[in-house]
Structure 1
C-alpha cells in the first residue's frame, strides 16, 4: 500500500509541476532540471545529474506512450515504476534538507491535484 501511494504521489507531483510550469504543455528535461535547481538550490553538479535522469525518463516515457496506443490505463501503469525509479534516483542526489523540500513539493502537488486537477495554474 505504501509503495502504491508513493507511486501515485510521484505521478501526480510530476504532472502538477508540469502543468503549473508549462501551462498544460510538457516541460522539457532541461526546464524540469532548471525548475528543481531553482526550488531546491541544487549545485551545478546535482543539476547536471538530474538533467540526465530527466532525459532518460523522457525517452522511456515517449516509448511507453507510443507502445500504449492510446490506452491510458496501460500507459499509467507502465509509467508509475518509471517515475518511482526516477524519483528515487533524484532523491539519492539530494542533501537531507533538499530531499525534505523535494518530498514537501511532491506532497503539495499531490494535494493540489486531489483538490481539482492542478488548481488552474495559479501564481507561477
Structure 2
C-alpha cells in the first residue's frame, strides 16, 4: 500500500490569516478551561467517594460510573511466543479510512513574516 502524495504548502490569503490567531487564543483558553475542569472534577470525585451518582438539591448532577476494562490482545508477546501466527494476523488486519488532522503550527514560526534574502 502506497502513501498518498502530499501536496505542497499553500500560502493563505491575508484575510484568512487572522483566523490563525483566533484559533491560538481559543486553544490557550481551552487549555486553561481544561485545568479548571480537572480541578472541579477532582473535588467532585473526592466528594463522591465510592458513590456513582452525586446529587445537588436532590437532583442527579454528576455520574462517576464504573466501566468495564477494555480487553486487548498483547500482540508483542504473541509475536514473541508464536511467530508462526504473524502471517495469519496480517491477513486479518484492518486499516481504517485515511483522514486529515488539523493542527496549528508553531506559533513563533507562523506569526513572523519571512524576510527576503539579502
Q: TM-score if structure 2 supplies the norm length?
A: 0.29
Larger radius of gyration: 2
Bigger relative contact order, structure 1 or 2, given CA contacts below 8 A and separation 6+? Answer: 1
Q: TM-score if structure 1 supplies the norm length?
A: 0.28
Greater helix proportion: 1
